[in-house]
Amino acid sequence: MKPKYIFVTGGVISSLGKGLAAASLGALLEARNLTVGIQKLDPYLNVDPGTMSPFQHGEVFVTDDGAETDLDLGHYERFTNAKLTKKSNYTTGKIYDEVITKERRGDYLGGTVQVIPHITDEIKRCIRRGTGDVDVALVEIGGTVGDIESQPFLEAIRQFRYDIGPENVLYMHLTLVPYIKAAEELKTKPTQHSVKELRSIGIQPDIILCRSEQPLNRELKAKISLFCNLPPEAVFTALDVESIYEVPLSLHHEGLDDKVVSLLNIWTGAPRLGNWEQMLHKIKEPQHEVKIGIVGKYTALKESYKSLNEALVHGGIANNARVNLDYIDSEQLEELSAEKLEARFSGISGILVPGGFGNRGIEGKIKAINYARTHKIPMFGICLGMQLMAVEFARNCAKLNDANSSEFNPETTYPIIYLMKEWTTKDGSQTVTQNEDTPKGGTMRLGAHPCQLAPGSHARQAYDTDNISERHRHRYEFNNEYRDILEASGLQITGTHADRKLVEIIEINEHPWYLGCQFHPEFTSKPMKPHPLFVAFIKASLEQKQS
Ligand code: GLN
């Protein structure tokens, strides 16, 4: 029977790291030579996370096929080789959307359409087509057990065990075991309550993972076992660790993967974890250290730059360096005098301007970019960052004084970055049009697109290949009408979309490392396979520090 399913639920509170736990278990199973797939089911009503604010929901992660998904999918890709697609993330909104479409079409032949069985059937269908032909499919249910929103999902996974047989399904529940300082004790009561809740809807967890700042001893595990109706060997500590990349090893030392394969009746050898150990060693005992300034808008909320932060860590791993991040609110740079700007950037060896939307703080970012260009500090612009690098260059090098992106100033004389009004679809069959008033949902260039690199460029050097494919998520583009003028002033276009002639990478000469890319390289960086642009950027920043 393929695949076997592991359903991961969470109790007590959110943000316990359910996604990380699922991703880590996926990594451990892969280390045992099993193929894994991962899927996330989210109980909120938005049809996809694409239009949700990063303030509320953290980063929007983008897959190769252009799905805008929950940031946990980023963990899944960083930790495993699972192939993630549009089918890897379903929300309640999406499920209802499909059921209501079917109802309108008459597919239910006039029958009464209900949560059980119609919504739950649809959920089960999504689960079945979610992960493809793999040995083990991990399915994470978002939210916390007890939430009204997650009930249909829990009901669906309860039924699932009967549909495909108990030996093919495993329920893993993550809870919190808090340490109460005054009593000097770890408390199991919240876990008991949350499991009681789960059992009341008919799900008996096979494994309980207890998130805790201290290891649970044998007595505590026995207590949880007694109250939660499972053997003590099925209770594991998910210990707080310094680096997220320590989680797989920590869970392995607890014996989690051993238990999982034995419960699912899968026979494998011992896992090969040497590469995880080596990588972790580099993170924990690096030889160098470097400080990178991230100039952005959501700097108070690190979750909104999740993949970016990780990609910078990966770039550090490749260079044997600890990367310290200094988050700089771009708005606060706007008023600074030249000396104060200098002081703000002192000790920073590389500047990164990430992706973003909306007007706020734009001029501050341009100021930072100008600083990096004129002070010859390694500069990496991603998506919006690249667009603003082009704007800064146009204003100050090509002397196009009010140059801007039409996203921020529709009246600008020089729309260096603009909204494409019309284009032909990939297969040439359709002409798509849009303007500033087109509804925001689903109008972006999304997902993987090919890009050709120019010989001799920093980009070509970093990738060590001529043709690449990278993920996009943006509405605005570099305006080719200004290409000649900017190139005449020294801008180098070093990456272009082969058939659509879109500008994808810009650089300049006479600068140690100055590169902006229209795509999001951070989405495809992994600790074991750091992204070439992040490796090159950190390398240049380390050299900057040493010089
Ligand atoms: N706001 C810009 C655009 O839509 C950049 C988007 C981004 O950085 N992801 O093109």
Asked whether the predicted pLDDT for residue 425 surpasses 60, the reply is no
Confidence of residue 46 (pLDDT cuts 50, 70, 90): confident
Site of tokens 């990096």: 372
Q: In this predicted model, what pLDDT tens digit does every residue of 294-341 receive, in sequence order?
A: 998 865 667 788 899 999 999 999 999 999 999 999 999 999 999 999
Q: What is the mean pLDDT of residues 149-158?
A: 95
Q: In this predicted model, what pLDDT tens digit does every residue of 520-544 receive, in sequence order?
A: 999 999 999 999 999 999 999 999 9
pLDDT at 357: 87
pLDDT at 250: 96
Could you tell me the distance, in angstroms and rounded to a whole number, from the CA of residue 186 to the centre of ligand 1? 46
Question: Helix %, strand %, coil % for the chain, to 5?
Answer: 40, 25, 35
Pocket of ligand 1 (CB under 6 A): 355-357, 383-384, 407, 473-476
pLDDT at 438: 62
88 neighbors 39 (Cβ within 8 angstroms): yes
Q: What is the mean pLDDT of residues 349-358?
A: 93
Asked whether the predicted pLDDT for residue 439 surpasses 60, the reply is no
Q: In this predicted model, what pLDDT tens digit does every residue of 472-510 receive, in sequence order?
A: 999 999 999 999 999 999 999 999 997 768 999 999 999
Distance, CA of 385 to CA of 372 (rounded, Å): 12
pLDDT at 13: 84
Could you tell me the distance, in angstroms and rounded to a whole number, from the CA of residue 403 to the centre of ligand 1? 17
Catalytic residue IDs = 383, 520, 522
Question: For residues 123 and 420, which has the higher predicted lDDT (pLDDT)?
Answer: 123
Count of C-beta atoms within a 10 Å radius of residue 101 = 10
Short-list 451, 435, 447, CA closest to 499: 451
Asked whether the predicted pLDDT for residue 442 surpasses 90, the reply is no
- Beta strands in 134-168, from DSSP E residues, in sequence order: 136-141
Short-list 139, 201, 145, CA closest to 13: 145
5 neighbors 139 (Cβ within 8 angstroms): yes
Q: Which structure tokens are listed for 221? A: 């595990």
**Residue percentage of the chain with pLDDT more than 70:** 93
* Residue minimizing CA distance to atom 5 of ligand 1: 384
pLDDT at 434: 65
Site of tokens 């209900």: 114
Asked whether the predicted pLDDT for residue 43 surpasses 60, the reply is yes
Q: In this predicted model, what pLDDT tens digit does every residue of 243-283 receive, in sequence order?
A: 999 999 999 999 999 999 999 999 999 999 999 999 999 99
pLDDT at 200: 94
Q: What is the pTM of this model?
A: 0.91
Could you tell me the distance, in angstroms and rounded to a whole number, from the CA of residue 461 to the centre of ligand 1? 26
- Pairing of the two strands 288-296 and 476-478: unpaired
Could you tell me the distance, in angstroms and rounded to a whole number, from the CA of residue 468 to the centre of ligand 1? 21
Q: For ligand 1, what atom is nearest to the CA of residue 520?
A: 9
* Residue minimizing CA distance to atom 1 of ligand 1: 357
Q: Which structure tokens are listed for 152? A: 């249909």
* Residue minimizing CA distance to atom 6 of ligand 1: 474
Q: What is the mean pLDDT of residues 15-38?
A: 94
Instruction: For each of the domains in the chain, give its residue range(s) and CATH number, in order of start.
Output: 4-278 (3.40.50.300), 288-546 (3.40.50.880)
Count of C-beta atoms within a 10 Å radius of residue 394 = 26
Distance, CA of 152 to CA of 378 (rounded, Å): 50
Distance, CA of 51 to CA of 320 (rounded, Å): 37
Q: What is the mean pLDDT of residues 128-152?
A: 92
**Which of 387, 388, 434, 519 to mutate to test ligand 1, by most ligand atoms within 8 A of the CB atom?**
387
Q: In this predicted model, what pLDDT tens digit does every residue of 55-78 receive, in sequence order?
A: 666 788 999 999 888 888 899 999
Q: What is the mean pLDDT of residues 396-417?
A: 94
